[in-house]
């Protein structure tokens, strides 16, 4: 009986089946990402090598990645990057992995800033990103609204270092002021912004314990867990934000569907008006939007 020939094609097929049997979401994509990393190429490059036989060293590297992924470690941390809003972001265990649902904020922010510029002639809108993490929101907004000037804060110095690298990579570092700060602590009272965006911790303690191990055991707890209710950080942001928004300025905060109604109740007793919840791509309640003044 002849030994199996482990071409790129066969490695992908076997690994996709293995991941599927273990219940991983998107098993083929996961296999492609890890094998591309092991071979030092990208997903397109895999198909140019489809019938080639990777070296022993490459297969050993791939086996190690597959083993770690099967144990729960996220693919984004294993390969060191993640796509977000058509941009490639470097990520590591110091930052939350950017997710497609968070693109909802970028879509809303870009549309709002462009519309405001058209209607009012505002030439250089100022944007504040609270809890920037990898810099996904700040960098994506800066790339799509070239006139915008941004301030991005995070309580984690390690996360800020990651965000700075991503801003450099995408050529927007000169327009983003990164600050080490617990929410608004490093933002002066006189600083006013056209728009405030945030993807804050919004997971309750009970929900945190039920998260998939790939999230609970690997992604930074400080970026996920808000407190007993899940609304604690959102409440702090809403309380402090009016001091830092221009008249008719807007705030966009990511939430989970589990705290959507509680977040609306917070807005009802706040200085904000014209508030609403925006659904993400999957139709889930994902972002609260409100206007100050």
- Number of independent structural domains in the chain: 2
Give the whole-angstrom CA distance, residue 247 versus residue 173. Answer: 27
Give the whole-angstrom CA distance, residue 18 versus residue 14. Answer: 6
Residues 120 and 30 in one domain: no
Sign of CA dihedral 67, 73, 74, 75: negative
pLDDT of residue 1: 35
pLDDT of residue 131: 98
pTM equals: 0.93
pLDDT of residue 116: 82
Give the whole-angstrom CA distance, residue 129 versus residue 138. Answer: 6
Last residue of a domain, one of 17, 38, 71: 71
CATH number at residue 113: 3.40.50.150
Domain that holds residue 159: 93-292
Q: What is the mean pLDDT of residues 143-169?
A: 98
- Whether 212 maps to a domain, the answer reads yes
- Residue 2, pLDDT > 60, answer no
How confident is residue 240, by pLDDT bands cut at 50, 70 and 90?
Answer: very high
Residues 226 and 284 in one domain: yes
pLDDT of residue 273: 86
Tens-digit pLDDT profile for residues 25-74: 999 999 999 999 999 999 899 989 999 999 999 999 999 999 999 999 99
Q: Contact 20/30 with Cβ under 8 angstroms?
A: no
Residues 110 and 30 in one domain: no
- Whether 186 maps to a domain, the answer reads yes
DSSP 154: E
Residues 201 and 168 in one domain: yes
CATH number at residue 31: 1.10.8.10
φ, ψ dihedrals at 205, nearest 5°: -60, -40
- Residue 3, pLDDT > 80, answer no
Tens-digit pLDDT profile for residues 250-284: 999 999 999 999 999 999 999 998 999 999 999 99
């Amino acid at each position: 009986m002849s030994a199996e020939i482990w071409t790129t094609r066969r490695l992908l097929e076997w690994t996709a089946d293995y991941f599927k049997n273990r219940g991983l979401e998107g098993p083929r994509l996961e296999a492609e990402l890890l094998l591309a990393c092991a071979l030092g190429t990208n997903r397109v490059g895999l198909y140019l090598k489809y019938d080639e036989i990777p070296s022993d060293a490459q297969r050993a590297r791939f086996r190690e990645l597959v083993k770690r992924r099967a144990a729960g470690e996220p693919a984004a941390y294993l390969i060191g990057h993640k796509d977000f809003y058509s941009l490639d972001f470097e990520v590591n265990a110091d930052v939350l992995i950017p997710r497609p649902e968070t693109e909802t904020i970028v879509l809303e922010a870009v549309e709002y800033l462009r519309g405001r510029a058209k209607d009012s002639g505002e030439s250089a809108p100022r944007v504040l990103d609270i809890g920037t993490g990898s810099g996904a929101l700040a960098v994506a907004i800066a790339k799509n609204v070239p006139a915008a000037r941004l301030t991005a804060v995070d309580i984690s110095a390690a996360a800020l270092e990651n965000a700075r690298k991503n801003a450099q990579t995408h050529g927007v570092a000169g327009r983003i002021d990164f600050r080490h700060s617990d929410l608004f602590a490093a933002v002066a009272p006189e600083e006013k912004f056209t728009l405030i965006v945030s993807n804050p911790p919004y997971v309750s303690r009970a929900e945190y314990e039920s998260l998939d191990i790939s999230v609970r055991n690997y992604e930074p707890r400080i970026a996920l867990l808000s407190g007993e209710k899940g609304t604690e950080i959102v409440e702090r942001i809403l309380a402090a934000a009016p001091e830092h928004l221009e008249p008719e300025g807007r705030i966009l905060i990511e939430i989970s569907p589990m705290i959507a109604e509680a977040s609306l109740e917070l807005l009802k007793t706040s200085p904000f008006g014209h508030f609403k919840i925006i659904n993400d791509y999957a139709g889930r309640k994902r972002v609260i939007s409100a206007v100050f003044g």
